[in-house]
Amino acid sequence: MTAHAMKLLFIIDPIMGLKHYKDTSIAMMRAAAARGHQLFICEQHDIYLEQATVHINAQSIALNDGERWYTLGDAQDYLPNTFDAVLMRKDPPFDNEYLYSTYLLELAVQQGARVLNHPTAIRSWNEKLSVAKFPQFAPEFLVTNDSDRIRAFLSHYQDIVVKPLDGMGGSGIFRLTERDPNIGAILETSTQYGQRTIMAQRYLPAIAQGDKRILVIHGEPVPYALARIPKAGETRGNLAAGGKGVAQPLTERDIEIATTVGKTLKAEGLFLVGLDVIGEHLTEINVTSPTGMVEIAAQTNCNPANIWIEALEG
């Protein structure tokens, strides 16, 4: 039991759909509950604005063991500053509804709420584009909706990856080489015939050793990364795309990237962030709902959820 029991609100996707045995938000809840904190949950649409006041319709949650792993209290209306922290853990896609929730949460901050990650920073840090803030760590990349420009980038680097700016779990990611017979169709699909801006990145062969997820908590990297190794014949390491997660100690380069980026993250109110590193390069900065805590805890003596709740208490 800590000196001060906190009330924590988690904004999550529908709880029925969460895989309780591997979901990072639930690991965070369990770590908080074990230290005597009170838990509440809501969904994005449970935040509303009446005149100038933000309200949140939330339910208390108690965690149990076994398949019936939670018990919910009755839904009630709360003011956001009722909670010691409001934790935005809704998964992408970062669509207009997500955008609107960041505006409402910004108003909640003005009403005295502590919202993590800070809603302004969530909005400013696109998970793909944010690597441009750290060009010294990023692979060569191009952001455009112009297929000809992407073809020129492809002919220069000969092996590239194209991806949407709002996806997650590896959705919409294509690897392209100059020999690919489907270049035209893939670029038309990805850019929606030039209507959608996408990112192209030089392909990094080190993906074979894994797409490393490095968790950064309050500016400090967790000492183990989760290397997500692609299954045979697959370009994407994402666990959602069938990759296998292998926990491994951070390399010197990982630490250099994570501590450098971590200073900026902390200054901007990005409390829990997942960096994606392939080989020596930073490829994404995940600020919405980074995962990987459960796998790291299962494979090492390091428990990221405990690190997180201790940092939050501090």
Catalytic, out of 30, 89, 90, 163 = 163
Catalytic, out of 89, 212, 228, 306 = 228
196 is catalytic: no
126 is catalytic: no
Catalytic, out of 46, 106, 254, 276 = 276
303 is catalytic: no
Pairing of β 85-88 and β 281-286: unpaired
151 is catalytic: no
Catalytic, out of 286, 295, 303, 306 = 286
128 is catalytic: yes
| DSSP count for the chain of H helices, then E strands | 8, 18
In the three-class reduction of DSSP (H, G, I as helix; E, B as strand; rest coil), residue 265 is classed as helix
43 is catalytic: no
The answer to whether 297 and 25 are in contact (CB under 8 A) is no
The secondary structure of residue 182, as a DSSP letter, is: T
Report which of 221, 173, 225 is spatially closest to residue 201, judged by C-alpha positions.
173
The CA-to-CA distance between both ends of the chain, in Å, stands at 14
Cis check for the bond before 93: say yes or no (omega within 30 of 0): yes
Distance CA(215)–CA(208), nearest Å, equals 21
Place of tokens 């009755």: 74
266 is catalytic: no
Catalytic, out of 128, 212, 295, 303 = 128
284 is catalytic: yes
Catalytic, out of 117, 236, 254, 295 = 236
Catalytic, out of 284, 295, 303, 306 = 284
Distance CA(309)–CA(148), nearest Å, equals 48
Place of tokens 């309050």: 218
Catalytic, out of 126, 213, 238, 303 = 213
Residues with a catalytic annotation lie at: 128, 163, 213, 228, 236, 276, 284, 286
